[in-house]
Amino acid sequence: MTSTRGLEGVVATQSSISSIIDDTLTYVGYNIDELADNASFEEVIYLLWHKRLPKMDELTELKQQLTANMSLPQEFLNHFKTYPIDKVHPMSALRSAVSLLGLYDDKSEDMSDEANYAKAINLQAKIATIVTAFARVRKGLEPVAPRADLGYAANFLYMLSGKEPEEIEIEAFDKALVLHADHELNASTFTARVCVATLSDMYSGVTSAIGALKGPLHGGANEQVMKMLSEIGSEENAEAYIQEKLANKEKIMGFGHRVYRQGDPRAKHLREMSKQLTKLRGEEKWYNMSIRVEAAFTAQKNLPPNVDFYSASVYHSLGIEHDLFTPIFAVSRVSGWIAHILEQYENNRLIRPRAEYTGPGMQKYIPIEDR
Ligand code: SDX
């Protein structure tokens, strides 16, 4: 038995949800480029959960179900105020809050298809409210309730700022949600599948996935990219900064990928969004700096930008606080986690790989007085 570090190249399961073949990403066979340009996030949620695009009435029903389930009970919101609110990272708050959500659902342990679908709607709907409510409560602001007349992306921005978002902001945020929804067997999705393969519940599966996404090698990279851009400060400093980091053998967040070799197809959409939104805000420096960082990095390492690199300047241009970038990744990716959890339940087998033992050979026990 020989182990493969990080399970690189290991095919751990079969799935018909998303595919990454020759650097092309599809959700149920639909190319991400077509979905990013044409589909709403709600259409993608339906596609991932039902493995086909919705008809108009099915999409309308899903939108209504999500909006109707977005509100959080007051006792839940009061719970945020018990957190050490100024010290808690929003991803840690989200991990705890999703776990708490399960306590309030009296059907959390019901494994019927109907109950699991209800949990899916509950999680997808409330995760947006949890992230925005926490972001406001930690600043001493009251949460903003969702509006029945707004779609998912618009409601998120509205609940975060308390102001009705502009059309261009809604379109950009909706596209970002589409681009982050699913990605084959990435670390957090694999975590979710391992968890529910023990026949544990959906809240446990999503809570464990949030824990995995939080790390800077995975979903946490987007916040680190913004931190890096802020440290660089101006486009003139980009080359020297990157050269110094690489000379020190440091990893540059937002670049490289375990699967993609020629490039992450999502990055080009986010690069274009960054160009448009930073210009709209009169803050082109973030886009220009990103372009200079990409040029300086790829001149030394053949590792193109991944989904996290340009999403940083996109979210910044939408006025979103930097430590909310990874929770936003979770707001989108929970749709993919749920799809994989449902698929795992459909044809389950406990996921239990082996370890290549490298410890000492057989040993005799020695009583403590003789050690
Ligand atoms: C996401 O898996 C998914 O699908 C994830 C995701 C999704 O949608 O779910 O796409 C989202 O998580 C994107 C990745 C976000 N993370 C980052 O941007 C963090 C920075 N990137 C790296 O840590 C790294 O590229 C990973 C974690 C993304 C991939 O790591 P691997 O496959 O384990 O590669 P590695 O660390 O073994 O690196 C191979 C070589 C090394 O050089 P050598 O030691 O062989 O000389 O490439 C180098 C690394 O040092 N390298 C980098 C680098 N990434 C790899 N060097 C500098 N900066 C980097 N970013």
Domain count, the chain: 2
Mean pLDDT in residue range 193-211: 98
Same-domain status, 94 and 162: yes
Residue 107: CATH number of its domain: 1.10.580.10
Question: What secondary structure, in 3-state letters, does 300-332 show?
Answer: HCCCCECHHHHHHHHHHHCCCCHHHHHHHHHHH
Q: Which residues line the pocket of ligand 1, CB cutoff 6 A?
A: 6, 183, 186, 217-219, 221, 251-258, 301, 303, 306-308
Q: How far apart are the first and last CA of the chain?
A: 33
Mean pLDDT in residue range 7-15: 97
Q: Is residue 250 part of a domain?
A: yes
Please give the pLDDT value at position 75. Answer: 84
Mutate to test the pocket of ligand 1, among 44, 255, 298 (most ligand atoms within 8 A of CB): 255
Same-domain status, 40 and 99: yes
| For ligand 1, atom 47: residue with the closest CA | 256
User: Is 174 annotated in the active site?
Assistant: no
Range of the domain at 84: 20-167+180-215+326-346
Q: Give percent above pLDDT 70 in the chain.
A: 100
19: helix, coil or strand?
Answer: strand
Residues in Cβ contact with 216 at an 8 Å cutoff, skipping those fewer than 6 apart = 223, 224, 253
Instruction: From the candidates 257, 269, 316, 340, give the one annotated as an active-site residue.
Output: 257
User: Is 308 annotated in the active site?
Assistant: yes
Please give the pLDDT value at position 39. Answer: 98
Q: Is residue 256 part of a domain?
A: yes
Same-domain status, 145 and 270: no
Q: In whole numbers, what is the pLDDT of the chain averaged over residues?
A: 97
Q: Is there a contact between 193 and 13 (Cβ–Cβ < 8 Å)?
A: yes
80 has a pLDDT exceeding 90: no
Q: Is residue 240 part of a domain?
A: yes
Q: Is residue 70 part of a domain?
A: yes
**CB-count exposure of residue 193 (10 Å: 0-12, 13-18, 19+):** buried
Q: Which stretch of DSSP H or E encloses residue 54?
A: none
Query: Distance of CA 159 to CAs 79, 101, 142, Å?
Result: 18, 19, 10
Mean pLDDT in residue range 145-150: 96
Counting from 1 in the atom list of ligand 1, the atom nearest the Cα of 264 is 10
CA nearest 41: which of 137, 190, 170, 223? Answer: 170
CA nearest 228: which of 213, 212, 215, 245? Answer: 245
Same-domain status, 265 and 160: no
Please give the pLDDT value at position 183. Answer: 98
**CB-count exposure of residue 8 (10 Å: 0-12, 13-18, 19+):** exposed
Mean pLDDT in residue range 241-250: 97
Same-domain status, 111 and 86: yes
Q: Is residue 247 part of a domain?
A: yes
Same-domain status, 200 and 227: no
With residues binned 3-state (H G I as helix, E B as strand, rest as coil), the percentages for the chain, rounded to 5, are 60, 5, 35
| For ligand 1, atom 22: residue with the closest CA | 256
| For ligand 1, atom 55: residue with the closest CA | 256
Same-domain status, 205 and 330: yes
Chain segment 105-133, per-residue pLDDT in tens: 999 999 999 999 999 999 999 999 999 99
Please give the pLDDT value at position 349. Answer: 98
| For ligand 1, atom 24: residue with the closest CA | 256
Q: Give percent above pLDDT 90 in the chain.
A: 96
Chain segment 279-337, per-residue pLDDT in tens: 999 999 999 999 999 999 999 999 999 999 999 999 999 999 999 999 999 999 999 99
Please give the pLDDT value at position 79. Answer: 87
Please give the pLDDT value at position 85. Answer: 84
Mutate to test the pocket of ligand 1, among 300, 306, 334 (most ligand atoms within 8 A of CB): 306
| For ligand 1, atom 16: residue with the closest CA | 217
Task: Retrieve residue 296's tokens.
Answer: 């300086």
Same-domain status, 63 and 94: yes
Q: Which stretch of DSSP H or E encloses residue 106?
A: none
Please give the pLDDT value at position 78. Answer: 87
| For ligand 1, atom 44: residue with the closest CA | 249
Q: In angstroms, what is the span from residue 225 Cα to ligand 1's centroid? A: 13
Q: In angstroms, what is the span from residue 303 Cα to ligand 1's centroid? A: 9
Q: In angstroms, what is the span from residue 256 Cα to ligand 1's centroid? A: 4
Q: In angstroms, what is the span from residue 41 Cα to ligand 1's centroid? A: 27
Instruction: From the candidates 269, 308, 316, 340, give the one annotated as an active-site residue.
Output: 308
Q: Is residue 7 part of a domain?
A: no
Euclidean distance between CA atoms 110 and 112, whole angstroms = 6
Q: Is residue 268 part of a domain?
A: yes
Chain segment 156-187, per-residue pLDDT in tens: 999 999 999 999 999 999 999 999 999 999 99
Q: Is residue 303 part of a domain?
A: yes
Residue 261: CATH number of its domain: 1.10.230.10
Same-domain status, 196 and 77: yes
Q: In angstroms, what is the span from residue 230 Cα to ligand 1's centroid? A: 21
Same-domain status, 24 and 78: yes
Same-domain status, 195 and 98: yes
Same-domain status, 206 and 302: no
